[in-house]
Chain A
Amino acid sequence: MTDPGFVVAGYTITALVITAYAASLRARMRRADPTRSLRNRDG
Chain B
Amino acid sequence: MHLRHGLARWWVLLGICAAAIAWLVVGGLASNIVYFRTASEAQADRVHDATHVFRLAGAVVPNSVQAVADGVDFQLTDGHVTIPVHHRGDPPELFRPGAPVVVEGHWDSPASSAFFASDRILIKHGSEYSPPPVPGQNAPANAGQANATQAARR
Chain B interface, number of residues (Cβ within 8 angstroms): 5
Summed over the interface, the residue pairs from A and B with CB atoms below 8 Å come to a total of: 7
Number of A positions contacting B (CB below 8 A): 3
Closest to B145 in A: A1
Counting CB contacts under 8 A, is B122 at the interface?
Answer: no
B92: nearest chain-A partner, CB-CB: A2
CA distance A2 to B93 in the complex (A): 7
Q: Report the minimum CB–CB distance from B137 to chain A (whole Å).
A: 9
Q: How far is the CA of A2 from the CA of B94 in the complex (A)?
A: 8
Instruction: Identify which of residues 19-41 in chain A touch chain B, using a CB-to-CB cut-off of 8 Å.
Output: none
Residue in A closest to B142 when the chains form the complex, CB atoms: A1
* 7 CB < 8 A contacts A-B: A1-B93, A1-B138, A1-B141, A1-B142, A2-B93, A2-B94, A3-B93
Which residues of A are at the interface with B, using a C-beta cutoff of 8 A? 1-3
